[in-house]
Amino acid sequence: MKFAVIVFPGSNCDRDMYHAVKGVLGEEADLVWYQNSNLENYDGILLPGGFSYGDYLRSGAVAATSDVMNQVREQAAKGKPVLGVCNGFQILTESGLLPGALMRNRKLSFMCHQEELVVENNQTIFTSGYAKGEVVRYPIAHGEGNYFCDAETLADLKKNNQIVFTYKNNPNGSTYDIAGITNKEGNVLGMMPHPERAVEALLGSYDGLKLFQSIVKNWRESYYVANA
């Protein structure tokens, strides 16, 4: 499987993401500069964390208007897996690929520590390697990770089983303790915690490795079925 790790001006978790899929998982991966992007030949797209464009206007707002996001939309519409982490999640909401918005943390301060998450939906291409209700540990590192949506959107998220991860102890004020959601089709996941920083015991947790393994496993199964 070949991943594109999209790099915007200000991205600072792109190498972490690259290392997770290339160095640890052993899959193909390229760091793809947002201006030189052709995503047609990639099997999965990763939007890393960081501070794209210095978080001017709103976090992810400028990156969401870039030409590469039109390509991301096209590839997502074809069913390819798209994962946005932290700033990547913010970009996905700003670009309309996911509902809701990310606001300032409840205590208005940057937070950087390990958090326990609950796997609410293990029937996605991202979480099939987990058990439903499993508690995992990922680090968070954000100042604007407070997920917000209106009551109607929340009802839709629940109805369509789009809430994938929740915080066990909500650190930032997110609506319904939400830490990660998918689109209705289930192939676009946005989350604030960092699975790419939880792929080796040296990092304090390797719970995030299952997420990347799940993507690869499901892609291979669908690829072999399509080419049988």
Catalytic residues: 86, 194, 196
Q: What stretch of H or E contains 184?
A: none
Cα gap 215→196, rounded to integer Å: 13
Identity of residue 155: A
The pair phi, psi for residue 190, each rounded to 5°, is: -120, 135
Q: How far is CA 177 from the centre of its chain?
A: 16
Residue the block writes with tokens 């949506």 = 149
Candidates 66, 76, 91, 4; CA nearest to 39 is: 4
Q: How far is CA 142 from the centre of its chain?
A: 14
Contacts for 220-224: CB closer than 8 Å, 24+ residues apart? 220/1, 223/43
